[in-house]
Amino acid sequence: MTAEAPIDPALAEHYTWGAEENPCDGWHLVRTPELSVILERMPAGACEVRHYHERARQFFFVLEGCLTIELDGREFALDAGSGLEVAPGKPHQAFNRATRDLRMLVISQPPSHGDRVTAAAHER
């Protein structure tokens, strides 16, 4: 897709991540060497591995549901219409502790794929 064309999530590149029994979905809305914008769906009960990014700065913006995110030892509950910035090097973990799907935008600059370090491995 080019920057001049409207972006339809139904046509965007899709991938799954997380636990095999409760997978999460991601759709690349913008995927350039400078910027990543991903629409993500986390089903009820899903979570990601605690990690940090060495270079990527991220912004999580909730569209539907409630995102619980642990950031550097503090926990935040974000409802639809709110977001949280995560600086490079800050350990974080996202959870969907609600009973319904969570939909959010994850914006990363530069893109975070390939820039993830599992926090537990680093803390040893």
Residue 61: HSE in the Cβ half-sphere, 13 Å Cα cutoff = 9
Written as one letter, the residue type at 11 is: L
pLDDT in tens, 90-121: 999 999 999 999 999 999 999 998 899 997 65
CATH class given for the domain over 23-123: mainly beta
Amino acid (1-letter code) at residue 123: E
Contacts of residue 60, Cβ cutoff 8 Å, sequence gap at least 6: 67, 69, 78, 83, 84, 86, 94, 104, 105, 106
CA 100 to each of CA 43, 64, 79, 108: distance values in angstroms, whole numbers, following the listed order: 7, 9, 13, 25
pLDDT value, residue 114:
87
Task: Give the pLDDT confidence score for residue 124 in this predicted structure.
Answer: 40
Q: pLDDT tens for residues 27-76? A: 999 999 999 999 999 999 999 999 999 999 999 999 999 999 999 889 99
- 119 phi/psi in degrees, rounded to 5: -65, -40
